[in-house]
Amino acid sequence: MAAKAKLKRRGSVRSEDPSLAKAKRFLKRIALVDGHNDLPWVIYSDPQARGDVGAYDLNRVHQDGDTDIPRLKQSGLAAQFWSAFVPTEIDHPGRSVLEVIDVWRRMNEKHPEIFMQATKSSDILKAKREGKIASFLTVEGGVGLENSLAPLRIWYAAGARLMVLSHNETLDWVDSATDEKRHGGLTEFGRHVVRELNRLGMLVDLAHVTDEVMHQVLDITQAPIVFSHSNARALCNHPRNVPDDVLKRVPQNGGVVMLTFVPEFINQAALDWARPLKDEYMKGRKDIDRAAAYAERAQELGPPPKATLEQLCDHIEYVTQTIGIKHVGIGSDFFGGDTPDGLEDVSRFPHLLAELIRRGWSENALAAIASGNFLRVFRAVERVGRALRQDDTGRLVRHEDFVKGATLFEPRWRG
């Protein structure tokens, strides 16, 4: 009996999916970058841990989440951009952003055997060589600026290297894709935010903004941009996804679109099922109990349609065919929420590459999407920042300066 069990186990090893085995071997050699994960906010907002990294205990598998150290060890990741997200309506947004940044910092301090705190593009390959994950900081949404450029420079000094201009709500200076359009895109202060990001050498992230903002940023930026977690609107008509007319401008800019795992950005049927609830929520109906509303809709219509790993790969291939392999990357947006079948948690990144292998992707194409494209963009952003900082040390600029009709300075350079 024991001999039969042993033979069965050996047989299961021999029958491992050859594409998955190839993907795992590939990730031992090639760096993998993920553009967006909200783990610092998950720890910060956890009702038990309340921002205490030790109490959250990343060393255990979190069955109610998607990111922890045991599964990160299976991910193949060489670099992760962690998001210092706070909700737009939070009290004390400036302080709250700093508190979430502090969670990221303490994650790195507590687990130096896993995370290498990172600030430079070169840290990605360094972490890969050391068998660690380069731990980068993103600030998601500009609400914490509180309408001043000064906090942006403090975030940079703290380690931030990427900023998502808005989240789900429109700010005083930038329109969000999922809220009322109030500014026709960017205000003058918003343009200064983009220019200051260029000067600092921080990545400008257009994942949450309106089409108008996307075009305006592409008009003025002096550095390549990223969409750190967005998909193709042609395949799923969500305003968070990138429309074709914007996609087709990305190659000229040199940027990268990092495809995301959010089910409602992947599967049109899943979006259609949830759209009435999303519309009510996005219109500011904060009185709605979202969990109860979803449960009621599921009772009426049945459970929401699932998104799948294969459908995400359809988005990846669509963007690749539309703008070329040099402008595609991966940005999961794991945040403890719904995930597609096949991409349930961070351990599943090799399965994504395995599906692309099954579709005939070459190793050169896989290397481009895994990290090559992002590294090129990051290095270019750093070069632009170094050049701009030679002639400009930054200035105090506030939103109200433009509202009152008095600018504090005339920029010496323009995008």
Active site residues per annotation = 36, 38, 140, 167, 208, 229, 333
CA distance 143 to 241: 21
CA distance 72 to 82: 13
Q: Give CA angle at 107 (150, 230), nearest 5°.
A: 65
CA distance 62 to 69: 10
CA distance 49 to 329: 32
Spatial CA neighbour of 352 closest among 320, 313, 325, 387 = 313
CA distance 35 to 82: 8
Spatial CA neighbour of 131 closest among 70, 78, 68 = 78
Cβ contact 164:140 at 8 Å = yes
CA distance 373 to 35: 12
